[in-house]
C-alpha cells in the first residue's frame, strides 16, 4: 500500500519533470499545500511561477482556477455574484460562484488589483469563506491560494499592505536558473512542442497515437492523510523556544546586535511563530523524520520571515535585503 509520504514524493517528482531546476521552489509549494497555507510567489517574468503552480494542480485530483488580476477587476469577478433568474413567471436570485471557488487558485499578479479586490481574496484566504449579499459561502476543505507578483514593475500596481502580506504562510522567491538548467528548459519546451504537433497531426489524419497511458492524479485523501501525520510530528520544548526566540529577535533586534538594531524597523507577528511551527514540521516530515530538527527551522525561516519584516530606511539605503537580515538573525540566535 502506498503511504502518504510516497504519494507526495511522487507529486514532487512529477512537478520536477515539468519544472527544470527550482527544486527548492517546488518543495516550498508542497510545504504550503501540506501546511494548509497560502503562498506569495515572487519573481521576474518568465521564471515559471505560473507553470510551477499549474504543474502542482495538474498532478492533483483537484479543481484549478487562474485569476489574472488587472486594475479594472471587481470583487465580484473573484468571488461571484447574485444573478437574477426567471422561470415560470417567478424570479429568484441565485449565487453564481466566481473563480475563487476551486481547490487551488492561482492569483496572477495580485499587486495589479485594487484594494477592494485584494480584500475579497484575502477574506477567502483567512476565513475560508466568501460573503456575498449577506450570505456566507464556504470554501472546499482543500483550498489554497498561490499569488504571484512581479518585483520590478511598479507602474499601475497596488502594493499589498503589511497586514495583508502577513496572512501569507510563506513568501517564496524564484530566481534565474543557471546556464545548465536553461539549456534543459530549451530542450523541454522543444520536446513539448514536438509532442503537441505530433498529436495534432495524428488526430487530423485519423491515426492512432502511441502515447503512454497517463498516470492517475494524486488523490485529495493523500493530502489530508499527510496533514494528519504532520500534526503528530514531535516538537521538543527546546525547538519551540528556538522558534519563539527567532521571532522575538525581530522585535528586539538591538538586544542581539547593533546591525540588527539599525536594520529592523518592525518585527514579525505571532503568525510567524505559527508558520515556523507548521512549515518546520512539514519540512521534517518530507525528509522522513518524526521530529523537528533546528535545520528544519533554519531552512524555512527565510520564506516565513521575508515578507514579515519592515526594514529601516538606513537598511534600504545600504542595500540590505530581508534575506541578509534573516541570515544575521539565524547566526545570532542560539539554540538553548
Longest dimension (CA), the chain: 75
User: Could you tell me what percent of the chain has a pLDDT over 70?
Assistant: 94
Are 43 and 175 contacting, i.e. CB atoms less than 8 angstroms apart?
Answer: yes
The pLDDT value recorded for residue 295 is 95
Grid cell digits, residue 15: 512537478
Distance separating alpha carbons of residues 181 and 22, to the nearest angstrom: 9
- Which neighbouring-strand residues pair with 137? 130
Residue 206 has pLDDT above 90, yes or no: no
The span from the CA of 121 to the CA of 119, in Å, is 5
Cell of 334: 542560539
pLDDT in tens, 110-137: 888 888 888 888 888 888 888 887 888 8
Nearest to 29 by CA among 6, 51, 7, 44: 51
| Strand 144-149 with 39-43, pairing | parallel
Number of helices and strands (H, E) in the chain?
A: 14, 11
For residue range 256-293, list pLDDT tens digits in order: 999 999 999 999 999 999 999 999 999 999 999 999 99
- Sign (positive/negative) of CA torsion 314, 318, 321, 325? negative
Instruction: Quote the CA–CA distance of 19 and 58 in Å, as a whole number.
Output: 13
Confidence (pLDDT) at 154: 63
Mean confidence (pLDDT) of the chain: 88
Q: What is the pLDDT of residues 55-92, one digit of tens each?
A: 888 899 999 999 999 888 888 899 888 888 877 777 78
The residues near 106 (Cβ < 8 Å, ≥ 6 apart) are 50, 53, 54, 57, 64, 65, 66, 67, 146, 147, 148
List all residues 6 or more positions away from 124 whose beta carbon is below 8 Å from its beta carbon.
79, 100, 130, 139, 143, 145
pLDDT in tens, 8-20: 999 999 988 888 8
Burial letters 145-177, b for 16+ CB under 10 A, else e: bbbbbbeeeeeebbebeeebbbbbbbbbbbeeb
Interstrand relation of 64-68 and 104-108 (parallel, antiparallel or unpaired): parallel
Amino acid at each position: 500500500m502506498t503511504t502518504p509520504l510516497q504519494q507526495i514524493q511522487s507529486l514532487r517528482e512529477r512537478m520536477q519533470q515539468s519544472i527544470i531546476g527550482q527544486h527548492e521552489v517546488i518543495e516550498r509549494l508542497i510545504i504550503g499545500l501540506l501546511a494548509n497555507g497560502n503562498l506569495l510567489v515572487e519573481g521576474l517574468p518568465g521564471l515559471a511561477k505560473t507553470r510551477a503552480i499549474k504543474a502542482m494542480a495538474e498532478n492533483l485530483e483537484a479543481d484549478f482556477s487562474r485569476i489574472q488580476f488587472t486594475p479594472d477587476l471587481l470583487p465580484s469577478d473573484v468571488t461571484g455574484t447574485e444573478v437574477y433568474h426567471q422561470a415560470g413567471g417567478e424570479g429568484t436570485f441565485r449565487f453564481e460562484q466566481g473563480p475563487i471557488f476551486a481547490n487551488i487558485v492561482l492569483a496572477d499578479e495580485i499587486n495589479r488589483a485594487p484594494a477592494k479586490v485584494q480584500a475579497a481574496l484575502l477574506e477567502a484566504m483567512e476565513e475560508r469563506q466568501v460573503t456575498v449579499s449577506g450570505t456566507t459561502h464556504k470554501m472546499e476543505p482543500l483550498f489554497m491560494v498561490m499569488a504571484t507578483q512581479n518585483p520590478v514593475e511598479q507602474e499601475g500596481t497596488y502594493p499589498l499592505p503589511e497586514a495583508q502580506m502577513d496572512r501569507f504562510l510563506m513568501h517564496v522567491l524564484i530566481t534565474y536558473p543557471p546556464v545548465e538548467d536553461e539549456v534543459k528548459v530549451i530542450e523541454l519546451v522543444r520536446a513539448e512542442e514536438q509532442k503537441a504537433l505530433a498529436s495534432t497531426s495524428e488526430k487530423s489524419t485519423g491515426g492512432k497515437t502511441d502515447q503512454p497511458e497517463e498516470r492517475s492524479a494524486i488523490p485529495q485523501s493523500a493530502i489530508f492523510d499527510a496533514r494528519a501525520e504532520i500534526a503528530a510530528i514531535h516538537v521538543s520544548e527546546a525547538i519551540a523556544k528556538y522558534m519563539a526566540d527567532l521571532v522575538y529577535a525581530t522585535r528586539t533586534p538591538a538586544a542581539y546586535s547593533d546591525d540588527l538594531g539599525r536594520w529592523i524597523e518592525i518585527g514579525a507577528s505571532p503568525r510567524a511563530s505559527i508558520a515556523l511551527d507548521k512549515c518546520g514540521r512539514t519540512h521534517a516530515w518530507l525528509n522522513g523524520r518524526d521530529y523537528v530538527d533546528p535545520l528544519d527551522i533554519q531552512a524555512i525561516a527565510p520564506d516565513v520571515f521575508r515578507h514579515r519584516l519592515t526594514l529601516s530606511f538606513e537598511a534600504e539605503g545600504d542595500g540590505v535585503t530581508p534575506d541578509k537580515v534573516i541570515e544575521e538573525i539565524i547566526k545570532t540566535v542560539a539554540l538553548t
